[in-house]
Structures are given as C-alpha cells and as structure tokens.
Structure 1
C-alpha cells in the first residue's frame, strides 16, 4: 500500500512539473525534454554497446549510464505499483 502511494505521488509530481513548466514556457519545456531524451539515449547506448578497449573512465558516460539506470528503475517501479489504480 505504501509503495502504491509513493508511485501515485511520483506520477502526480511528474504531471505537476510538466504542467507548470509548460505554462511557464512551452519552448523551454520541449528543449529540456529533448536534452533529457538525448541524455537517456546516450546512457542506454553506453549500457548496451560492446565495451571498447583502451578507453579509460569517462565521467559523462558514467553520469548518463547512472541516469538511464535510475530512470529505467523508476519506470519499472511506477509500472508495477502505479498501474493498479485503473487510471492508466
């Protein structure tokens, strides 16, 4: 029950952020969504590609990989615990 409430609060918070940012500036909202999509796509690409030899530790790759992993885990959490409301 508590996990379901957390999932609902997370969905409501995300909806509120999108609504407020869209009412402030639609162009900025689309731009930030595009940058976030690139960030997550780069993280997914780094996770699922074959590692290359001779490359050291890269801060951007680590940040995008962590961001993608956190986003994917959050999406799975919301899917499992937020889908029981019958509103999706």
Structure 2
C-alpha cells in the first residue's frame, strides 16, 4: 500500500490496470466481477486514499505481482527477471 500510495492518481491507475497476481488473476477483472456497481472507471475517479482503501479492501490478492516499473528500475524485464 505504501508503495502504491507514492504514485500520482494516474500512476496508481496504471499499476492497477497492469496488476496480475501469481494466480493469473487481473485486478480489474476481479474488482468488477464483485458486482454491486464496482467499475474500475468509477474507482479511479475517487481520491487516492479512497482508491487505495478499495484496492486493498476488496479481497484481491496482490501476491506475485511485481509492477513493470520495478523491473525497469532494476534494469530487467518480466521475461528475463529471476527471483532469487
């Protein structure tokens, strides 16, 4: 949460769009599948704190997801990166 909270709203949106956990589940698909009017487009219209509250409170498991920006910072890409 702290890592994601350091981004601008558009950065948070980009990372959530990219998020696919170790089980192959995408954040957006799982968030919207919860029904009850949960649409990603509505989520990202909220303020940053509310976006983070919902993203981390909706039950999505972020385990295994590493944002591309982290790989880029390390000078690697998702294809060549290896976890030690």
The bucket for the TM-score relative to the shorter chain is under 0.3
Identify, as 1 or 2, the structure richer in helix: 1
Q: TM-score, normalised by structure 2?
A: 0.28
Q: TM-score, normalised by structure 1?
A: 0.27
Higher Rg: 1
Which structure's relative contact order is higher, taking Cα pairs within 8 Å and 6+ residues apart? Answer: 1
